Structure 1
Amino acid sequence: MKLRSIEIALPDPAAAAAWMTGVWGLSPAELRGGGHYLRGTGSFPYLVAFEPSDEEFVRSTTFVCSDEELAAIKSRVTEKGWAARPVTSADPGEGHGILVELPEGTILRFLAGTSEVAPIEGFSKASKRVSPVKLTHVVFNAVDAELLGHAVEDVLDFRVSDRTKGMVFVRCNDSHHSTAFARAGFASLNHVAFEMDDLDAVMRGIGWMRDNGFAPAWGPGRHGPGDNVYAYYIAPFGPVIEYSTAVEKVPADYRTGEPDDWTWPENRIDQWGVSDKDFAGLRVAEERFRCRRDWEPAPL
């Protein structure tokens, strides 16, 4: 199973798409039914969809999987009684699957039978412009992060990789985390992380963003859990987005870390300790995009 995309509804999808392509580094993929689909340099047909809506919310976060994985999820979701419905995707990449609402309202979509596209070549280190490859993780705020961690283990067959004082990190393959649940006290989108080719690409991305008038809200730095390099930004249209790279690959028997395994010297919040963090600005942005079910449950 792999994390593929996030689908966001907002009043001005064209403006959001223009900034994400003109500044952040994504490329236009398709325009369907008023929705703007943006891709990275990798083989997924799109990473972000901006869809028109009077209000802003997260419509879904999409994982692609095999028919066998999908059948198993359907069975466990039905047994648990979670709100869900069958879907046939009208997005690039197509596919069939289900929409699932987690206990605090987060909406995940699982699709099988999807297609991919040829990677984009030609972004070189000689160019100032950078481009993400794919999504590396989508993190959600939670009222009860432990509840959601146990729920996705029991029903979706995800695995908790690490617990810290701030988050529960969850994986769906050998990448340390494809999602996580922050101990925030409210439910919403925390941030969307985009995978860059390497550390150099992250640093060049920071330079490119400065050229365009944007400084990191946090970073550069290197996390503890996942060991990934990061730089966080608050997008002009609202959400927190991240340049990231080199999330740790973990074995199936990886020992789940606990909060005491991830402590830092006083006043430090990552391995490097070289960057300040805009706590207040990030908090406002992290509360802004809630998940919403705009569909009625149906038998799977």
Structure 2
Amino acid sequence: MTERLVSHLRYAALAVPNFEVERDFFVRHWGLTEVRAEDGLSYLAAEGSTEPFILRLRKDDKRVDLAGFGVRSRADVDALAAKLHAEDVQFIHEPQELDGFSGGYGFRVFDGDGRALEFSTGYQTREARKIREREPIPAKLSHMVFNSQDLNKTAQWYVDHLDFTISDSLVRPDGTDMMHFMRCNPNHHSIAVAMGPHHSLHHLSFEMRGIEEWMRGAGKILRSGARMIWGPGRHNAGDNTFAYFLDPAGNTIEYTTELSMVDDENWVAHKHDISQLSTQDQWGTAQEMSELVARESFNDIDKGLFVAPPV
């Protein structure tokens, strides 16, 4: 089994101008729990996860603040920092005791496109509970997907520096790469990179307890007035269900479940032709993918690249 220094995706941090509206949506409708509130800052947890929070919202101009990743130990944090220094990765700050909510020990860097990444360990966890049958709330954060103007260059940065592995790819009929699904543990993907017109957030995905909870959750969000932009359906790559919505800030967010688990020793990456309807939706229940659907997830240009978030 491949030993990686990065163990898992912990959280996503977003800055949004409509902070109060966004926070209300994620708590009242999406099903997250606010565990800490500060002036213009909200930390939101998933009831089924031991992570202290899986989403952080901050009041500011719209941007991706951080993608937070877990590391198993302080020794691994130091080893990863040393590796990235040797590879001339740009640091935001060195390994240190973290003074933000939940604490821990870690460091931050910019990826090759300028997204801020945090790697941490030793933070305070919370007690998770079992999600009840038919309870339509997220159990955990599943994955985070970025748009990139240079898909292969962005994906290769995560392969070279963080030892992520490409599990599967989406390609055009002529073989042009359109999306890479990337793993750092047995989950089929913790991040993915999609070809887009600019660097931005493509979507955040939240794992539900099961199919019943996923469908009930999708209905709940529809009744909230949010617009479903694609779904419900079941992808081929990752074999997970999907229902994509727009949040009040215009970010694409997903309810999913049953993401595949893969074995590093035996898994063979596939290239799925996006012109085949079964590539996008095995069930055929979702509308056909089109430019009109795809552009909803292009999002606004991320103006926070190579600018460290203030918290």
Q: How far apart are the structure 1 equivalents of 2:197 and 2:75?
A: 35
Residue-by-residue CA offset, 1:145-195 (whole Å, 9 max, x unaligned): 211222211111211111222211111111010001101242111000001
Q: How far apart are the structure 2 equivalents of 1:19 and 1:51?
A: 14
Normalising by the residue count of structure 1, what TM-score does the alignment of the two structures yield?
Answer: 0.89
Report the AA paired with residue 11 of structure 1: P
Partner of 1:233: 245
**Overall identity of the aligned pairs, in %:** 27
Which residue, out of 283, 294, 300, partners 2:307?
Answer: 294
1:173-184 alignment, distance < 5 Å? 173-184=185-196
Which residue, out of 245, 257, 262, partners 1:250?
Answer: 262
Structure-2 change in CA distance of 1:25 and 1:170 (3 Å): same
Partner of 1:170: 182
C-alpha contact 1:217 1:282 (8 A) present in aligned 2 = no
Q: How far apart are the structure 2 equivalents of 1:246 and 1:57?
A: 29
Residue-by-residue CA offset, 1:197-217 (whole Å, 9 max, x unaligned): 111111011111222233421
TM-fit CA distance, 1:2: 1.4
Partner of 2:111: 102
Structure-2 change in CA distance of 1:14 and 1:91 (3 Å): farther
Report the AA paired with residue 30 of structure 1: R
Q: How far apart are the structure 2 equivalents of 1:285 and 1:169?
A: 16
1:69-80 alignment, distance < 5 Å? 69-80=76-87
* 1:138 to 2:144 alignment: yes
Partner of 1:26: 32
Q: How far apart are the structure 2 equivalents of 1:163 and 1:23?
A: 32
Q: State the secondary structure of the residue aligned to 1:287.
A: coil
* Unaligned residue ranges in structure 2 (runs of 5+): 1-6, 172-177
Report the AA paired with residue 232 of structure 2: P
Question: What RMSD, in angstroms, separates the aligned Cα atoms of the two structures?
Answer: 2.2
Partner of 1:204: 216
Normalising by the residue count of structure 2, what TM-score does the alignment of the two structures yield?
Answer: 0.86
Q: How far apart are the structure 2 equivalents of 1:36 and 1:190?
A: 22
Partner of 1:45: 52
Structure-2 change in CA distance of 1:170 and 1:46 (3 Å): same
Partner of 2:159: 153
Partner of 2:175: none
Q: How far apart are the structure 1 equivalents of 2:273 and 2:98?
A: 40
Q: State the secondary structure of the residue aligned to 1:164.
A: strand
Report the AA paired with residue 81 of structure 1: D
Structure-2 change in CA distance of 1:58 and 1:168 (3 Å): same
Partner of 2:120: 111
* Unaligned residue ranges in structure 1 (runs of 5+): none
Residue-by-residue CA offset, 1:45-70 (whole Å, 9 max, x unaligned): 111111122x1111101011122332
Q: How far apart are the structure 1 equivalents of 2:241 and 2:262?
A: 17
Partner of 2:174: none
Which residue, out of 13, 17, 21, partners 2:23?
Answer: 17
